[in-house]
Structure 1
Amino acid sequence: MNGATTLERIESFLPERSVRIDDVAESLGLRRAEVGVFRKIYGLDRLRFDPGTGLFDLVLPAARQALKALPEGRRIAYVIYAHTMQTLTPPHIDAAQVIREDLGLPDAEAFALTQQACVSSLGAIDLAGELLRAEAPEGAYALMVTGERAYSPKVQLIPNSAIMADAAAACLVTLDGPGDRVRSHVTRTLGEFAAGLDMTKEQTQGFGRVYGTVLGEVIHRAVREAGLRFDEIDLVIPHNVNLVSWRQTIKDMGADPARFFLDNVAHYSHTYASDVFVNYTTLRERERLVDGRHYVLVSVGLGATFGAMVITHRRRSA
């Protein structure tokens, strides 16, 4: 089966509890000066963080909302849970299976995708399209879900880079639907930085030196593979890791900073694989997504994978 991958509905969910980064500094072992660096240099200020929220309480609301757009009589063939951390539940609990059952989708094939860390959500959309083309019945859908909790200081702090926060998202995917059309998907993995949080100081510095250049190259390649020029892109919808890395990337690209949506960095911080969808829904609520215009969803995962997906927005009624 042929057909373009289309995003029929994107939803996000954020816990109501909002805290300042100062409020989590002690648990993360951050000194006052380090908090100042995160705020003044990296651009972080607040984040959604609720230790009382369970994993599935976080994940399910956005998924249920996205499923409301499923046309009557159509079925979900795949539930793909894209997350960053490999371990989120005790070994006897398969999170993807729990999500499928709680959503009332017993006939769907459910599995998780984690290999590209925070880029796994974009990879999951690409995979959903491939599976729908390869083996699903005509008219079938896939549901991609994200969401994971910053459940311990070790997974909440990326030193000198980001403070992780709570959020979730969901995307309803099909082929040749009326929703946003996926025009390209590009990833690049630099295996020399596979150690992630366990990189040496020298490796971390090396990653920082190439970060902006490689990310810019991946964005430009995705735009080219979409058959477009970068000046035809309305906005880049990025992850929220921090402002300083985006400023360096924008400088390396020689791009206009106004074309990168960075408003949410200060409000929500980095939310693992959910960032781009939280930012997408923020833009939709502000009516900044324009019918027929092109956008780039961008994220980077420790390990280190750079990913970009070009979409053409098609307005639909809520």
Structure 2
Amino acid sequence: MAGRTTLERIESYLPERSLRIEELGEHLGLRRAALGVFRKFYGLDTLRFDPDLNLFDLLRPAARRALDALPDGARVAYLVYAHTTQAVAPPEVEVAQVVREELGLDGTEAFALSHQACVSSLGALDVVGELLRAEGDENAYALMVTGERAYSPVVQHIPNTAIMADAAAACLVTLDGEGDEVRSFVTRTLGEYAQWMELTPEQNTVFGEQYGTRIAEVIHRAVAEAGLSFADIELIIPHNVNLLAWRQTIKALDVPVEKVFLDNVPRYSHTFASDVFVNYTTLRDTGLLVDGAHYVMVSVGLGATFGAMVITHRETHRQNLPKTHRETHPKIHRQTHQKGATPV
């Protein structure tokens, strides 16, 4: 069955508890100087972190809201839980199966994907699109769910890179629907960096020097495979790893800073595989997504995988469902963003 993968509904969820990064200093074993580097150079400020929040309490809200867009008579054929960290729950707990049961999706095939780290969520959208084409049922949908807890200092602090935060997201997917059209998806994996925590200082230096160039290459390839030029792209919707990494990428892309949405980096920090969807819903809920415009969703996973997905946004009645229990995002004005509210 041929057909275009369409994203019928994207939702995100962030816990209410917000902390300044300095409040995590003792928990992460970071001294004031190290926290100062994260604030001054990496652009971090606050993040959502609630150690008392259960993983499934984190995952449910966005998933349920995404399912609100499921038409009458349609069925969810697949549920995929995309996560970054290999171990997100005790080994006897199959997270995808639990989520399926809690959502009441009897008969849905549920599984997890994780080997592209933070790119796993974009990769999962590509996978379920292929599964739906093989399914051959025009009433079949898939639900991609992402979200995980920063449950220990080892997981939460990536040295010289990021401080991880809590968030979740969900995306309802079908073929030839009314939602955003997926036009291309490109990944590149640099396997020599697979043992991330064991890299030598020299390897870390080389990776840092290559970082912006590698993202730029993947973005340009995705845009070309979508049949577009970079001038056609309205905005890059990125992961929130840090502002320093995005300075490098913006330089490699040779684009104005306003071409990349970075307002959420100091607000929410890096949220594993959920970043691009948190940023998407921020833009949508503040009225900054343009009907018919093209966007590039970009993420990078440790290991190291670079991924870019080009979508064309389409306003639909499902995109405008009531904002019941939706995260209230800070009001954003594109003009303010263009003037460089963030230190890029």
TM-score category (smaller protein): over 0.9
For the residue of structure 2 that corresponds to 1:73, the secondary structure is: coil
Report the Cα distance in structure 2 between the residues aligned to 1:228 and 1:138, rounded to whole angstroms: 28
How high is the TM-score relative to the length of structure 2? Answer: 0.92
Aligned to 2:96: 96
Q: CA deviation at 1:199?
A: 2.0
8 Å CA contact 2:190, 2:304 repeated in 1 = yes
Aligned to 1:162: 162
Q: Deviations over 1:213-238 (max 9, x none)?
A: 00000000000000001011000000
Please identify runs of 4+ aligned residues in structure 1 that moved more than 6 A. Answer: none
8 Å CA contact 1:242, 1:269 repeated in 2 = yes
Aligned to 2:270: 270
1:238-257 pair list within 5 angstroms = 238-257=238-257
> Are residues 1:83 and 2:83 paired?
yes
Report the Cα distance in structure 2 between the residues aligned to 1:198 and 1:158, rounded to whole angstroms: 13
Q: CA deviation at 1:252?
A: 1.1
Aligned to 1:33: 33
8 Å CA contact 1:129, 1:175 repeated in 2 = yes
8 Å CA contact 1:158, 1:197 repeated in 2 = no
Report the Cα distance in structure 1 between the residues aligned to 2:253 and 2:89, rounded to whole angstroms: 40
Q: CA deviation at 1:110?
A: 0.2
For the residue of structure 2 that corresponds to 1:100, the secondary structure is: helix
Aligned to 2:280: 280
Aligned to 2:212: 212
Structure 1 residue identity aligned to 2:23: D
For the residue of structure 1 that corresponds to 2:270, the secondary structure is: coil
Report the Cα distance in structure 2 between the residues aligned to 1:194 and 1:69, rounded to whole angstroms: 38
Report the Cα distance in structure 1 between the residues aligned to 2:146 and 2:211, rounded to whole angstroms: 24
Structure 1 residue identity aligned to 2:312: T
Aligned to 1:112: 112
Q: Deviations over 1:122-151 (max 9, x none)?
A: 000000100000125222000000000000
Q: CA deviation at 1:316?
A: 1.6
8 Å CA contact 1:8, 1:177 repeated in 2 = yes
> Are residues 1:201 and 2:198 paired?
no
Aligned to 1:151: 151
Structure 2 residue identity aligned to 1:208: G
Q: CA deviation at 1:91?
A: 1.1
Structure 1 residue identity aligned to 2:7: L
Report the Cα distance in structure 2 between the residues aligned to 1:225 and 1:137, rounded to whole angstroms: 27
Q: Deviations over 1:38-95 (max 9, x none)?
A: 0010000000000010100001110000000000110000000000001111111100
8 Å CA contact 1:164, 1:270 repeated in 2 = yes
Identity %: 69
Q: CA deviation at 1:197?
A: 2.7
For the residue of structure 1 that corresponds to 2:247, the secondary structure is: helix
Structure 2 residue identity aligned to 1:19: L
Q: CA deviation at 1:198?
A: 2.9
Aligned to 2:335: none
Unaligned runs of 5+ in 2: 321-344
Aligned residues between the structures: 318
Report the Cα distance in structure 1 between the residues aligned to 2:94 and 2:297, rounded to whole angstroms: 28
Report the Cα distance in structure 1 between the residues aligned to 2:199 and 2:139, rounded to whole angstroms: 45
Deviating more after overlay: 11-20 vs 27-36: 27-36
Aligned to 2:309: 309
Structure 2 residue identity aligned to 1:229: S
Deviating more after overlay: 200-209 vs 6-15: 200-209
Aligned to 2:233: 233
Report the Cα distance in structure 2 between the residues aligned to 1:150 and 1:234, rounded to whole angstroms: 32
Report the Cα distance in structure 1 between the residues aligned to 2:255 and 2:61, rounded to whole angstroms: 36
How high is the TM-score relative to the length of structure 1? Answer: 0.99
Report the Cα distance in structure 1 between the residues aligned to 2:141 and 2:126, rounded to whole angstroms: 13
> Are residues 1:48 and 2:41 paired?
no
8 Å CA contact 1:15, 1:49 repeated in 2 = yes
1:5-16 pair list within 5 angstroms = 5-16=5-16
8 Å CA contact 1:197, 1:302 repeated in 2 = no
> Are residues 1:187 and 2:213 paired?
no
8 Å CA contact 1:276, 1:298 repeated in 2 = yes
8 Å CA contact 2:147, 2:168 repeated in 1 = yes
Aligned to 2:127: 127
8 Å CA contact 2:186, 2:308 repeated in 1 = yes
Unaligned runs of 5+ in 1: none
Report the Cα distance in structure 1 between the residues aligned to 2:171 and 2:226, rounded to whole angstroms: 21
Report the Cα distance in structure 1 between the residues aligned to 2:191 and 2:209, rounded to whole angstroms: 15
8 Å CA contact 2:73, 2:139 repeated in 1 = no
Q: Deviations over 1:264-302 (max 9, x none)?
A: 000000000000000000000111100000000000000
Aligned to 2:171: 171
For the residue of structure 2 that corresponds to 1:23, the secondary structure is: helix
For the residue of structure 2 that corresponds to 1:58, the secondary structure is: helix
Report the Cα distance in structure 2 between the residues aligned to 1:50 and 1:26, rounded to whole angstroms: 16
